[in-house]
Amino acid sequence: MENGDADGKPKRAAGRLCSICNQKKPALKRPKTLEQICRECFYSVFEEEIHNVIVDNHLFKPGERIAVAASGGKDSTVLAYVLSELNRRHNYGLDLFLLSVDEGITGYRDDSLETVRRNEVQYGLPLKVVSYKDLYGWTMDEIVKTIGLKNNCTFCGVFRRQALDRGAALVRADKLVTGHNADDMAETVLLNILRGDIARLSRCTFITTGEDGPIPRCKPFKYTYEKEIVMYAYFKKLDYFSTECIYSPNAYRGFAREFIKDLERIRPQAILDIIRSGENFRISTSTKMPEQGTCEQCGYISSQKLCKACLLLEGLNRGLPKLGIGRSRGPDRAKKDGKQRTLLSGVKGSDLQSKQCGTLDF
């Protein structure tokens, strides 16, 4: 029989093989390329793509101290593991360590920090933890009790960014690396378009930011899909914390994230296309961009006299939690700045001495 064996039974079709090595059975379909590949080839291409991003963009120099922003989640855990492996394999000559921020969220951050402490032992990387309570005098639990669930992500995002910079400065890091992946980058491009935030849109796809600030930040996962990070962590059996922040369900970014996921289901390449679009945006020369300076209160980088963190913190300390929320444009900016200066008159007095915006000089 043409399609059977001697007993007349149909022959079983040969199993599909890995599209890279053509030897082993595929274990997954890559979300980025839709290739069906085996585990070993997946590990290889995943790590090699990140290595190429690091080399092509000259992210590091031998001898640099690199702080890995570690939250205990999948992105930062995989980042710490892969950087450790690549540093050893390709002899980057980097001094790596973990840097975590304790926002003070009971039942979330306290549990995730336990994961980071296990990673410290597993990867042999020293860990430094800085907290909102020590830096600002407030925990996120206390902030949410004061302001409610609306706008809490604004406070946390501003405070966390500055806390990472201050922690990196404290341990004398040359650079800070974060686990922002391709999905995050695409979401940020979309968010800045929806907000009409030209200043951030012009720089949000940079793989390295803050080179003119206190600590440059790098994103080795800029072109790495979130799904592939999850697959890598799963197959490698990495120890990470997967619970979402209890205060984030109403975050504006969440709606952009769902939209990106819908696009990815229709066309996986959409994520990279959005990033490429962001990279190719050109801002008109007639557009007035904010000038970067330093905060008069804490010395942190700021385009205003007071940085966002100092403004938000002062609002909390004075019982005016809405101070600093939102943005205004044009003629309203001068009026708003005048109002802020009135509210913040006496800002160097005893009110703020007990709860300053950070404790380090830049």
Q: How far apart are CA 18 and CA 35, in angstroms?
A: 8
pLDDT at 283 over 50: yes
pLDDT tens by residue, 212-226: 777 899 999 999 999
Residue 195, number of CB atoms within 10 A of its CB: 12
pLDDT value, residue 152 = 86
**pLDDT-based confidence at residue 196 (cuts at 50, 70, 90):** confident
pLDDT value, residue 249 = 66
pLDDT value, residue 294 = 85
Strands (E), the chain: 28-29, 36-37, 65-69, 95-102, 127-131, 175-177, 208-209, 217-218, 293-294, 301-302
pLDDT value, residue 330 = 38
The continuous run of DSSP H or E covering 250 comes out as none
pLDDT at 350 over 50: no
**pLDDT-based confidence at residue 352 (cuts at 50, 70, 90):** very low
Q: Name the nearest CA neighbour of 173 among 109, 98, 262, 118.
A: 98
Percent of the chain with pLDDT over 90: 58
pLDDT at 290 over 80: no
pLDDT at 355 over 80: no
For the chain, the domains span: 45-280
Q: Give the DSSP letter string of 299-324.
A: --EESSSS-HHHHHHHHHHTT-TTTT
Percent of the chain with pLDDT over 70: 85
Q: What is the mean pLDDT of the chain?
A: 85
Give mean pLDDT, residues 233-251.
Answer: 86
The continuous run of DSSP H or E covering 177 comes out as strand 175-177
**More confident: 283 or 257:** 257
Residue 178, number of CB atoms within 10 A of its CB: 22
Radius of gyration of the chain (CA): 24
Which CATH architecture group holds 45-280?
3-Layer(aba) Sandwich (3.40)
pLDDT at 11 over 90: no
Q: How far apart are CA 330 and CA 81, in angstroms?
A: 47
pLDDT tens by residue, 51-77: 999 999 999 999 999 999 999 999 999
Q: Give the DSSP letter string of 324-359.
A: T-S---THHHHHHHHHHHHHTTTTTSHHHHTS-S-S
Annotated ligand binding at 141? The verdict is no
Q: How far apart are CA 323 and CA 151, in angstroms?
A: 11
Give phi and psi for 292, each to the nearest 5: -85, 135
Identify the three-state secondary structure at position 247.
Answer: coil
Identify the three-state secondary structure at position 68.
Answer: strand
**pLDDT-based confidence at residue 13 (cuts at 50, 70, 90):** very low
Give mean pLDDT, residues 137-153.
Answer: 90
pLDDT at 235 over 90: yes
Q: Name the nearest CA neighbour of 82 among 51, 113, 37.
A: 51
Task: Output the six-digit token pair for 268.
Answer: 């996986």
Q: How far apart are CA 358 and CA 19, in angstroms?
A: 52
pLDDT at 347 over 70: no
**Contact call for residues 173 and 95 (beta carbons, < 8 A):** no
Annotated ligand binding at 262? The verdict is no
pLDDT value, residue 344 = 42
Give phi and psi for 66, each to the nearest 5: -115, 120
pLDDT value, residue 186 = 94
pLDDT value, residue 299 = 84
pLDDT at 257 over 60: yes
Annotated ligand binding at 75? The verdict is yes
Q: How far apart are CA 112 and CA 255, in angstroms?
A: 24
pLDDT at 193 over 50: yes
Q: How far apart are CA 297 and CA 344, in angstroms?
A: 11
Annotated ligand binding at 101? The verdict is yes
Specify the residue for token string 């975050």.
Answer: 251
pLDDT tens by residue, 157-190: 999 999 999 999 998 999 999 999 999 999 999 9
Q: How far apart are CA 132 and CA 182, in angstroms?
A: 28
pLDDT at 4 over 80: no
Specify the residue for token string 């004061």.
Answer: 146
Task: Output the six-digit token pair for 352.
Answer: 């703020």
Annotated ligand binding at 212? The verdict is no
